[in-house]
Structure 1
């Protein structure tokens, strides 16, 4: 059972890393200030939807990671 939990923990860890890397940065810096008008013209609603989904998936994976870590630590103690 501990081996299965460890494998699941590794899978969740890799998924969490990938989802965090897929997210766009919150502060785009100077390039965001210059290109900000173009984004409003072209439409950024789709990207905001994707970012919202990625944020939600990040929270879910982080909670799963935390719970799995505690469970693995508890069962590894014995």
Structure 2
């Protein structure tokens, strides 16, 4: 059981790294303007970017659950 959960965790980790690397960069000239672009230019993600955000949240949640399961199993 431990090896199965550990293998799943490795797969989830690799997928999480890939999904995070695929997300577009959100940096802009806000560093020079004091961050006004972040305040006034905030728009909801749509399309593929929204899909990547959802996948990141799901994979992060699965990662946390697997980490808790591994901690519980290894403490026995």
Q: TM-score when scaled to structure 1?
A: 0.73
Across the aligned residues of Structure 1 and Structure 2, the Cα RMSD in angstroms comes to: 1.7
Task: Output the CA distance in 2 between the equivalents of 1:14 and 1:48.
Answer: 24
Aligned residues: 62
Does 1:59 find its partner at 2:24? no
1:16 maps to which residue?
16
Task: Output the CA distance in 2 between the equivalents of 1:65 and 1:57.
Answer: 12
Structure 1: unaligned runs, 5 residues or longer = 31-46
- Superposition deviation, residue 48 in structure 1: 3.7
Greater percentage in helix: 1
Written as runs of structure 1 = structure 2, the 5 A alignment for 1:35-54 is 48-54=46-52
Structure 2: unaligned runs, 5 residues or longer = 31-44
Q: TM-score when scaled to structure 2?
A: 0.75
